[in-house]
Structure 1
Amino acid sequence: MGQAEQCLPRGVTIRKNKTGDTLIITFTYKGVLCREPFSRLEVNNKNIKYADRLLGEIQNKIEKGTFIYTDYFPKSPKLSLFGNVRRGRAIIDYLTEYLKICKTRNLSPSTLDGYKKCFTALSDLHKLPVTDLTPAILKNWIMQRQTALKTIRNRLSFLRSALDEAVTDGLISINPVGLVTASRYQSERGEHESEYIVDPLNPDEVTALLQAAGNQQWENLFRFALHTGMRSSELCALRWTDIDFIGKTAYIISASVSGVVKGTKTKAGKRKIELDEQALSALSSQKLFTFFRGEYVFEDPKTGEAWAGADAIRKKAWVPTLRKAGIRYRNPYQTRHTYATRHISRGANLFWLAGQMGHKGPEMLFRHYGSYLEEYDGNTGRQSSSQNGS
Structure 2
Amino acid sequence: MGTEKQLPRGVTLRGDTINITFTYRGVRCREPLSNLPSTPANIRYAARLLAEIQGKIERDQFYYADQFPKSSKLKLFGSGSRAARVVDYLDEYLARCERRGISPSTIVGYRKCKSSLSSMHQVLITDLTPAILKTWLSETSTTAKTARNRLSFLRSAIDEAVTDGLLAANPVSLVTVARYLDVDSVPDRGAKDVDPFTPEEVSAILSTASGINEQWANLFRFAFATGMRPSEVCALRWGSIDWIGNTVKVSSAKVVGVIKSTKTRAGNRTIELTSDAIAALTSQKRFTFMRGEYVFEDPKLNKPWAGTDAIRKKAWIYTLRRSGVRYRHLYQTRHTFATANISRGCNLFWLATQMGHKGPEMLFRHYGSYLAEYDGQTSKAPLVIQK
1:253 to partner: Cα distance: 0.7
Amino acid at match of 1:316: K
Q: Report if the CA contact (8 A) 2:19-2:30 is conserved.
A: no
Q: Report if the CA contact (8 A) 1:269-1:357 is conserved.
A: yes
The CA distance in 1 between the partners of 2:222 and 2:54, in whole Å, is 69
Q: Report if the CA contact (8 A) 1:66-1:172 is conserved.
A: no
**TM-score, with structure 2 as normaliser:** 0.79
What SS does structure 2 have at the residue aligned with 1:227?
A: helix
Structure 2 stretches lacking a partner, 5+ long: none
Q: Deviations over 1:55-87 (max 9, x none)?
A: 2553575688742246446xx654997898642
1:90 to partner: Cα distance: 2.9
- Structure 1 pair 378/111, CA: closer, same or farther in 2 (3 Å)? same
- Structure 1 pair 157/375, CA: closer, same or farther in 2 (3 Å)? closer
* 1:92 aligned to which of 87, 91, 96: 87
What SS does structure 2 have at the residue aligned with 1:226?
A: helix
The CA distance in 1 between the partners of 2:33 and 2:156, in whole Å, is 32
In the other structure, the counterpart of 1:159 is 154
What SS does structure 1 have at the residue aligned with 2:221?
A: helix
The CA distance in 2 between the partners of 1:312 and 1:12, in whole Å, is 64
Bigger CA drift: 157-166 or 228-237? 157-166
The CA distance in 2 between the partners of 1:29 and 1:384, in whole Å, is 75
- Structure 1 pair 356/59, CA: closer, same or farther in 2 (3 Å)? farther
In the other structure, the counterpart of 1:202 is 198
What SS does structure 1 have at the residue aligned with 2:290?
A: coil
Q: Report if the CA contact (8 A) 2:18-2:37 is conserved.
A: no
* 1:304 aligned to which of 302, 305, 329: 302
In the other structure, the counterpart of 1:12 is 11
Structure 1 stretches lacking a partner, 5+ long: none
Are 1:35 and 2:32 counterparts?
yes
- Structure 1 pair 220/317, CA: closer, same or farther in 2 (3 Å)? same
1:375 to partner: Cα distance: 3.3
What SS does structure 2 have at the residue aligned with 1:308?
A: coil
Are 1:226 and 2:224 counterparts?
yes
Q: Deviations over 1:290-340 (max 9, x none)?
A: 112211111111222211111011011111211222222222111112111
- Structure 1 pair 230/63, CA: closer, same or farther in 2 (3 Å)? farther
- Structure 1 pair 229/288, CA: closer, same or farther in 2 (3 Å)? same
1:343 to partner: Cα distance: 1.1
- Structure 1 pair 334/385, CA: closer, same or farther in 2 (3 Å)? closer
1:198 to partner: Cα distance: 2.4
How many aligned positions are there? 375
Q: Deviations over 1:138-191 (max 9, x none)?
A: 688779987466x666544432332243245442344444x559699699x89x
Q: Report if the CA contact (8 A) 2:65-2:79 is conserved.
A: yes
**TM-score, with structure 1 as normaliser:** 0.79
1:374 to partner: Cα distance: 3.0
- Structure 1 pair 377/174, CA: closer, same or farther in 2 (3 Å)? closer
The CA distance in 1 between the partners of 2:265 and 2:61, in whole Å, is 49
Amino acid at match of 2:90: L
Are 1:133 and 2:128 counterparts?
yes
1:42 to partner: Cα distance: 4.8
* 1:51 aligned to which of 46, 55, 63: 46
Quote the RMSD (CA, aligned, Å): 3.9
1:278 to partner: Cα distance: 0.6
Q: Report if the CA contact (8 A) 2:202-2:385 is conserved.
A: no
Q: Deviations over 1:347-369 (max 9, x none)?
A: 11222212211222223323333
Amino acid at match of 1:323: R
Amino acid at match of 1:43: P
In the other structure, the counterpart of 2:207 is 211
1:108 to partner: Cα distance: 3.0
- After the TM superposition, which residues 287-298 of structure 1 pair with which residues of structure 2 at under 5 Å, given as runs? 287-298=285-296
Bigger CA drift: 34-43 or 279-288? 34-43
